[in-house]
Structure 1
Amino acid sequence: MIACLRNTGLLLVSLLCSILIHGQQQELTGIGSDPNHTSGYLPTFFKKDHVKGSPYLADGWLRGNAELADGRKLPEPGKVGYFNFDKMNGRLYITDGISRIWNYPSDSVNSFTLGDSNAILSFVKDALISRTRFLQVLVRSETGYTVYRQWITKLNRSNFNDAGYYTTGQRFDEYVDLFNYYIVYPGHRKFTRLELKVRAIYKALPVEKSRLDSFFSEKSGSVDLNTFVLLMQYINEKRNG
C-alpha cells in the first residue's frame, strides 16, 4: 500500500513538471512570433534614434562642375549634371537627374565646385599639403595668403546603456565633422596648420602683428570661420594696397 502511494506521488510530480515545462515552451515559442518581441542581436533593450549628420556634403544634389585628372570637365558641354561629395571616402558623385549616377574616386578628380543659392564651396588638391586629400578653398591669392579647410568626417556609433538607475551614452549614430585649417604663405613654398584661436593666429602670422592688432583690437579668445576669412582677406588687401 505504501509503495503504491509512493509510486502515485512520483507520477503526479512527474506530470506536474511536464505541464510546467510544456507551458514554458509554449510561452517561449510564442515570443518568436510576437511583434512586440522581435528577434535580433542580443542583448538589446532600446531602439536607436534616427542617425544624425551625414557622410555627404549636402542632403540633396547640388549644381556644380568638376575637373577630372585626365583634363575632362563635368558636366560635359550641352549636358546637365548634379553633384554631391562623400566626405568620408573622398568620392565625388554626379547624376544626370534622370536615371544615371556616376562616382569618381579622389585620385580621378583634380578639383570641383558645388553650390546652391546660399553658398558655393570649392575644393582642390594642393601638393604642398596633400596630393590625395581635397581642401576647401576659403581664401585664394596669387601674391598673398591662401587659406584652406580640410573636412574630416567620422561616424560615432550609438553607445547607449541603461543600467536601470542611470543611463550613459547616446541612442543614435552620428556623423561628426571636424576641421583642419591651413595657411599657405606668400610664394607658396611654406604652410602651417592652426586652430581658430587668436593666439594661434598671432603665432602663425608674426610678421602681420600690426595688422592683427588693428583687426583684433576688440577681439580675444576663439575665432569663428567667418571672422577668420574676413581677417585673411583684410591682410591680403592691406598687402596689395
Structure 2
Amino acid sequence: MKTIWVLFLTAVISVNSFGQTTSISGTVKDAQGQPIPLAFVRDVQHYYATYADSAGSFLLKADPSSVLVAIANGFADTQVKIENKTVVNIVMPTGTSSSANAAGNSAGLAGPETDGGGGVPYYQTLMTQTGSSTAVAAGFAHEPTRGSQFLLPHWVHGFAIGIKDSLWFDINNLYNYDKASGSLLFTKDMKTVMRINKPGIKYFSLFNGKLLPLTFENAPAISKKPYIEVLLNNAKYKIYKQTDNKLVQADFKSDGVITSGNRYDEYVDYEHYYFVKAGDKPKGISLKKKTLKELLGGDADKFIAAQGDRDVDDDYVRELGYSLAQ
C-alpha cells in the first residue's frame, strides 16, 4: 500500500482542563424548534465536548461556571452560559459558522504537527481502492466479501483529546475505526483515507448517531494495538472491549458431488472484554449482569434493577458507566 505524509488538518484548541464538573443534558435546535443532529457542543474553557445525537439531544460533563458553544454547518456558532444548571437547551440561528469553516483556510491549519520526539506526523494518507472482487481463484468465482474491517458502516463525526489536554476537532472531517489494526481513520472527501498516528492523542470519541459516544484509548496492558474501546471508565475501574478482526479467505471445495466451505472472503470479529480495577492487572470477563454485580460491588445494583430484563450489551455498559458518573 502506497503511503505519503500530509499536513495536520484538524483545528487544535488549547483549553484549561481544570475545574469542577457537573453532568449536563440538553438539546440543540434551530429557531423553528427542529433538532440539529450531530451539532458539536463543548465547554469553551475546558476540553469537555460531545456531539448531539440524531434527535439533537446531548450529554456531557462541563464546568458549571463555564459556557457551552454549539457548532454546526449552516448555523452561527451559539454560546449559552451554564450558570450552574444541569439542563441547557441551545437554539442556533442560521448563519455561517466560523469554527466549522476554520479548517478550510490558513487560520485553521495547525501546520505539520509532530510528536515532539521522533518527528512523526500525526496523519498519514492511505491510498485506497474500492470495489468488489471478480477474481477467479482455485477454480471458483468469488462472491462479494462479507463483513468489514471497519467498526462502523458509515463515516461519522468525532474528536480527540491530545496528550496536553488540547481539543482536536474539525466538523468537516469524518472518522472510522480500523478493527484490524486498531487505528483511527478519517476522510475529508470520502475518497482519500488518512490514518492518524498514535503519538499526541490521549483518547478519541466517535459518534454514531446515538447519545453516548464510542470512546477509545491506548491500553498497552491489554492490547498492542494503538487504541481499543473503553466501555466504562471511572476512577475505580474500567471495562474495555478488544475486537480482533481477521480476514478469512474463501475455501470453497467441490468434487462434483460434495461441496464445502465458502465462496466469499469474510472479515470476522473476535470480541473480548476486560475489567481493570485501579492498581490491578486486567481480567477477562463476560458481559453478564451477575458478573457486573460482582465486579462493581453495589455500585451497579440500582442501574441493573432499573433495566429489568434488558440484555447486557455494549450500550448497556456505556449507559451503566454514565449512570455511575452522576
Fold conserved (TM > 0.5)? yes
Q: 1:164 to 1:108 in 2, by over 3 A?
A: farther
* 2:215 matched residue in structure 1: 122
CA contact (8 A) 1:156 1:176 kept: yes
Number of corresponding residues: 190
Matches of residues 73-88 of structure 1 in structure 2 within 5 Å? 73-75=167-169, 80-88=172-180
Query: In the TM superposition, what is the alpha-carbon distance from 1:232 to its structure 2 partner?
Result: 6.4
* 1:92 matched residue in structure 2: 184
Comparing 66-75 and 133-142, the one that deviates more:
66-75
* 2:264 matched residue in structure 1: 172
* 1:189 matched residue in structure 2: 279
* 2:160 matched residue in structure 1: 66
Identify which of 226, 233, 246 aligns with 1:140.
Answer: 233
Provide the C-alpha distance between the structure 2 equivalents of 1:53 and 1:62, rounded to a whole number of angstroms.
18
Residue 97 of structure 1: SS of its match in structure 2? Answer: coil
* 1:158 matched residue in structure 2: 250
* 1:16 matched residue in structure 2: none
Provide the C-alpha distance between the structure 2 equivalents of 1:58 and 1:165, rounded to a whole number of angstroms.
40
Q: 1:91 to 1:68 in 2, by over 3 A?
A: farther
Residue 264 of structure 2: SS of its match in structure 1? Answer: coil
Query: In the TM superposition, what is the alpha-carbon distance from 1:109 to its structure 2 partner?
Result: 3.7
Provide the C-alpha distance between the structure 2 equivalents of 1:223 and 1:75, rounded to a whole number of angstroms.
32
Query: In the TM superposition, what is the alpha-carbon distance from 1:80 to its structure 2 partner?
Result: 2.4
Residue 210 of structure 2: SS of its match in structure 1? Answer: coil
Query: In the TM superposition, what is the alpha-carbon distance from 1:104 to its structure 2 partner?
Result: 1.7
Provide the C-alpha distance between the structure 1 equivalents of 2:223 and 2:318, rounded to a whole number of angstroms.
21
Provide the C-alpha distance between the structure 2 equivalents of 1:227 and 1:93, rounded to a whole number of angstroms.
26
Q: 1:59 to 1:39 in 2, by over 3 A?
A: closer
Q: Deviations for 1:101-125, whole angstroms, at most 9, x for unmatched residues?
A: 4322345543211113236311112
Provide the C-alpha distance between the structure 2 equivalents of 1:40 and 1:210, rounded to a whole number of angstroms.
54
Task: Point out the structure with the larger strand share.
Answer: 2
Residue 170 of structure 1: SS of its match in structure 2? Answer: coil
Residue 272 of structure 2: SS of its match in structure 1? Answer: strand
Residue 52 (1) aligns with residue 146 (2): yes
CA contact (8 A) 2:232 2:320 kept: no
The TM-score normalised by the length of structure 2 is: 0.46
Q: Percent identity?
A: 25
Structure 1 vs Structure 2 CA RMSD = 4.0
CA contact (8 A) 2:182 2:228 kept: no
Provide the C-alpha distance between the structure 2 equivalents of 1:93 and 1:39, rounded to a whole number of angstroms.
28
Task: Point out the structure with the larger helix share.
Answer: 1
Provide the C-alpha distance between the structure 2 equivalents of 1:175 and 1:65, rounded to a whole number of angstroms.
27
In structure 1, the gaps of 5 or more residues are: 1-37
Q: Deviations for 1:22-76, whole angstroms, at most 9, x for unmatched residues?
A: xxxxxxxxxxxxxxxx9965x40x2221111111122332111123557664335
Provide the C-alpha distance between the structure 2 equivalents of 1:129 and 1:73, rounded to a whole number of angstroms.
26
